């Protein structure tokens, strides 16, 4: 939401629209899209976003390489001679971002969060409910791995290209780090390409936020409202959908308020890594044990989810990512939250919270009650490895 507000404010510069107004506009659009469009609309916007994102990234990477006459040697030489604050800096030198004494641990923690978190992101997992059968799901995973891997490789050209072509000072004066890709597109491809990349960025933001919102709202309506409050008892048709829509409004309102609180200068890039850390710490242990450990039970799932979620969030709050943030990058209302000295030295909690989530799931299973139904687990194992029976389950 912060990124969307910043983008809209820059695109409509001179129109009098403030950052707060832009965030509210995007939030209302997102909530309306989810409430009235549902899963089908969310799926289509993600399909279109993926096509535009990959196409835009490929073209922008080609423009960056064209700037260096398609010479990898010239490209990487330029990376070693980036001017920052009047000084020449080698961006290939280890430790520029993650400095001693905790630099290596920070990097390992970030890597763990990104690798393991991908398997636990809710708006990624929910995609498996939008395919007709297990075979298609497996094939979609293969394609996704190839496409995502290619995209991550191309970010090398985008990041280093922005550092060498634009420079840190230029980016800071023209929208900040949240606008790096559009600014690079404008520099290399003109205003038309700038508009295209901005549209892609906006579609990406809308797709991700819509995916997260629909995941949160449907989880609340089905897993909490129906399964917990009403203990799975059938109610009149449409009640669960209505609860999901109300939950979507609540999630949207909270996201709007938090974005306004943080302000336009807040660097949202690190939030990506933190979101991956939460997913890896809370969701991944439950997924792994559900598939590979036949003794795993409901108590283990609850302990794993709770331990991973609470430990990752607590460590994030007391880490340099929150307490060590530059006060000038957040709104005045949020500055009192970051005045204290960080209690946890690492910026990403993954290296600690992921093992804690796994440990919580293990201990919860051992001490929390009887093993799960062995016949159901064996049936799940067959489905997970062969896909047999999945079509019947989906139809049911």
Q: Are residues 261 and 282 in the same domain?
A: no
Q: Are residues 248 and 136 in the same domain?
A: yes
Residue after which a domain boundary falls, among 266, 301, 321 = 266
Q: Are residues 73 and 113 in the same domain?
A: yes
The CA distance from 117 to 157, in Å, is 24
The pLDDT of residue 337: 59
Residue after which a domain boundary falls, among 237, 266, 295 = 266
Q: Are residues 255 and 143 in the same domain?
A: yes
Each residue's pLDDT tens digit, 346-386: 989 999 999 999 999 999 999 987 777 777 778 877 877 77
Name the residue range of residue 315's domain: 267-396
Q: Are residues 240 and 319 in the same domain?
A: no
Each residue's pLDDT tens digit, 100-137: 889 899 999 999 998 899 888 887 887 777 788 777 88
The pLDDT of residue 108: 94
Strand partners, 87: 84
Q: Are 306 and 300 in contact, with CB atoms under 8 Å apart?
A: no
The pLDDT of residue 72: 94
Q: What is the DSSP string of 118-161?
A: GGG-HHHHGGGGGSSSHHHHHHHHHHHHHHHHHHHHHHHHHHHH
* pTM of the entire predicted model: 0.81
Q: Are residues 248 and 323 in the same domain?
A: no
More confident residue, 268 or 239: 239
Q: Are residues 302 and 340 in the same domain?
A: yes
The pLDDT of residue 396: 45
The CA distance from 259 to 24, in Å, is 9
The CA distance from 362 to 367, in Å, is 9
Question: Is the pLDDT confidence value at 393 over 70?
Answer: no
How many domains is the chain partitioned into structurally?
2
Q: Are residues 13 and 151 in the same domain?
A: yes
Q: Are residues 247 and 315 in the same domain?
A: no
């Amino acid at each position: 939401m912060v990124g969307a507000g910043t983008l809209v404010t820059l695109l409509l510069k001179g129109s009098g629209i403030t950052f707060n107004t832009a965030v509210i506009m995007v939030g209302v659009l997102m909530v309306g899209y989810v409430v009235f469009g549902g899963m089908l609309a969310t799926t289509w916007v993600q399909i279109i976003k993926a096509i535009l994102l990959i196409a835009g990234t490929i073209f922008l990477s080609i423009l960056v390489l064209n700037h260096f006459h398609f010479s990898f040697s010239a490209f990487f030489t330029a990376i070693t001679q980036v001017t920052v604050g009047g000084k020449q800096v080698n961006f290939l030198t280890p430790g520029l971002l993650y400095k001693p004494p905790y630099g290596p641990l920070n990097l390992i923690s970030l890597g763990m969060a990104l690798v393991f978190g991908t398997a636990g992101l809710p708006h990624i997992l929910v995609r498996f409910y939008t395919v007709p059968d297990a075979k298609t799901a497996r094939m979609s995973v293969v394609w996704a791995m190839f496409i995502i891997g290619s995209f991550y490789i191309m970010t090398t050209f985008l990041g280093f290209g922005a550092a060498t072509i634009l420079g840190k000072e230029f980016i800071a004066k023209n929208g900040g780090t949240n606008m790096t890709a559009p600014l690079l597109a404008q520099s290399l491809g003109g205003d038309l390409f700038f508009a295209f990349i901005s549209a892609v960025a906006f579609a990406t933001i809308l797709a991700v936020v819509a995916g997260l919102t629909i995941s949160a709202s449907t989880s609340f309506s089905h897993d909490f409202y129906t399964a917990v409050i009403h203990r799975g008892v059938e109610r009149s048709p449409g009640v669960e959908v209505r609860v999901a829509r109300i939950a979507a409004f609540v999630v949207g309102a909270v996201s709007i308020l938090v974005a306004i609180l943080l302000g336009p200068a807040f660097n949202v890039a690190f939030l990506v890594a933190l979101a991956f850390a939460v997913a890896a710490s809370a969701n991944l242990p439950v997924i792994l044990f559900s598939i590979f450990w036949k003794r795993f039970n409901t108590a283990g799932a609850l302990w794993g989810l709770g331990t991973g979620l609470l430990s990752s969030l607590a460590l994030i709050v007391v880490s340099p990512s929150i307490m060590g943030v530059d006060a000038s990058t957040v709104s005045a209302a949020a500055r009192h939250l970051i005045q204290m000295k960080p209690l946890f030295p690492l910026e990403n909690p993954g290296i600690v919270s992921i093992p804690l989530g796994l440990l919580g799931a293990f201990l919860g299973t051992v001490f929390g009650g009887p093993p799960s139904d062995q016949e159901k687990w064996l049936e799940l194992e067959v489905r997970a490895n062969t896909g047999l029976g999945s079509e019947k389950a989906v139809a049911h």
